[in-house]
A and B are shown apart, each in its own frame.
Chain A
Amino acid sequence: MNLRKYLKVYTKFLHTSIASELEYKTNILIDLITAILSLIGSIFLLSIFFQNNGTIGGWDFEQALIIQAIYTILNGITNTWFNPNLTEIVKHIREGTLDFVLLKPIDSQFFISLKKITPSGFLEIILGFCLLFYCIKINHININTSFLILFLITIICSICILYSLWFFISTTTIWFVKTWNATEVLRSFLYIGRFPLNSFSFSLRIFFSVFIPIAFITTIPSEVFLGLSQSWKIMLEVVVAIIFIFTSRKFWLFALKYYSSASS
């Protein structure tokens, strides 16, 4: 793989997507307002849950805010990269424009996963980090190198798991043609990631850890933040992320053999 070429192409992707978005100024403004209101709404909802009980699943409000911050960062990443690209796969397959992608001398998964970005999602990422810094302050967390490395590893793994799940569902479009609903279900599951895993019943905890590992995505990076993390959990998240990335890649290559293109 020619890394220099891929970097050059990605720079062009960034340039063209930002230029496309800037064509519609009002839309960007609305997206920005939505991001701010959504974060305020989520914190408000969280505060209601904690109003009567001091803790939920062993987490107090200040600690739960960390999960909210990580969720906001991940949601920002979802809105910036995954949403504009991975929902487009369904369109590419339905309308047959995947033909153009497949005939380019570039990795098709790279192309369809990164071609577009929605810049307004950046605000969510920034807001998420702001909230995270606030949480560091109120929870009196000491930042050191090993903490930062662990946090980075867990958050990258979370992004990989989320991407793979979404990409996996979108790939099934090659057989089922229309899978909008499935990606919506995934987004709904992601909302669950705003709450600590311990706040769910045992059976739900198993479900969200094993079958749809949403719990990994936010809870483990948050535990790293609070110094509650156990190394086996981090290792498990890394393994799960590698398996997910590898499987989604293999699944995509396998699915392409069944791509029949849309009729003219």
Chain B
Amino acid sequence: MVKNIIDVRNLSKSFDISYKEPGLKGTIKHFLKRQTKSLEVIKNISFAIKEGEIVGFLGANGAGKTTILKMLCGLIYPSEGSILVSGYLPFRRKENFLKNITLIMGQKQQLIWDLPPIESFYLNASIYDLDKFEAKRRIKKLSDMLEIDDELFIPVRKLSLGQRMKSELLAALIHEPNILFLDEPTLGLDINAQRNLRQFLKKYNEETNSTICLTSHYMKDITSLCKRVICIDNGSISYDGKLDLLLKKLSPVKEILIICRSEEDAFQLENLGFNVKNKTKNEITIKVENKSITSSLKTILNNFDIEDLYINEPPIDEIIGKILIKKDHDI
């Protein structure tokens, strides 16, 4: 049985946030006496992640995804509840724990700006106590996987965003961590760079059986990498389970476009009791519930002369977008 590598129980986190009224009066008041209120950003959440799993954290901006990731890697102290990552309490930041994890943030960088990435890699290698030969071997292996070569010797400030992100990944993975925390790793990248990064992460996960926790607003990242998703809504978990089940739940109907050989058939189909979305001459689009797709198709193919037929899945972005506006009880 695969063991849980991350175990979170009844986790909550509150921050003291200062707020300010608009205008000059508000500014003076804010300067003289700062008013703060305690804001509970994570509310009593529990979940467990198994070794080798890739889990996507979904939620609107400010839902609490990044706060959860930062608590998992030990950057933020939890207010209540317990977290165990790889058997360690993350916030103690023990050396062996830190050697096991990595955090990659799409919007922040750790590479030395004025120097080629290779210098940052060797610096990180010395921090992780790797000797020169081992560091060289790992840089070679990872740069092959990431398909970067000449870029390693060009100052970071002259690299494109995609090349820089690949280098950031290499710098963050040089110590071969078991657990990867990725916060919007594809932010700002073009489509090809996003695809390359996803392919790399998939390959890395397969080869090393590492556990990956990922947040992203690019749905393609989630759908192509994560079998399991945890939806965060206003600090609480609104769904934790398989992605395909979530999609089925949120999108219980599919659209079928049927092209009949005659207008007569199309007319008869329209009056058969299906939920018709639209109809033009011999083309008709109907909406069918997922569970009755097979029986509906049987009826159509057995009784009518069909020229062509398409089953359209609703766009995944649209479905997942619903999560961002739905409340707990909706999912």
Contacts and interface: CB of A to CB of B under 8 A. Distances in A.
Counting contact residues on chain B (CB < 8 A from A), the size range is: 35 or more
A106 B110 contact: no
B98 A12 contact: no
Contacts of B105: 99, 264
Contact of A264 (B66, B99, B123, B129): B66
Contacts of A23: 114-115, 155
Nearest to B106: A264
Interface in A114-158: none
Contact of B98 (A8, A16, A19, A105): A105
B108 interface: yes
A2 B115 contact: no
B153 interface: no
B126 interface: yes
A25 interface: no
User: What is the interface residue range for chain A against chain B?
Assistant: 20 to 34
A17 to B, nearest CB: 9
B98 A104 contact: yes
B102 interface: yes
Nearest to B187: A264
Interface stretch (B23-31, B68-76, B249-257, B302-310): B68-76
A5 B110 contact: no
Interface of A: 2, 5, 8-9, 11-13, 15-16, 19-20, 23-24, 95-97, 99-100, 102-106, 257, 259-261, 263-264
B19 to A, nearest CB: 15
Given A12-B126, A16-B123, A19-B119, A105 B108 contact: no
B95 interface: yes
Contact of A105 (B77, B109, B127): B127
Contacts of A5: 126, 129
A264 B108 CA distance: 8
Q: Which 3 pairs, one residue from A and one from B, show the smallest C-beta to C-beta distance?
A: A100-B110, A105-B98, A20-B114
B153 to A, nearest CB: 13
Nearest to B69: A264
B288 interface: no
Given A99-B108, A103-B75, A105-B128, A264 B184 contact: yes
Contact of B119 (A8, A9, A16): A16
A65 to B, nearest CB: 38
B322 interface: no
A83 B98 CA distance: 29
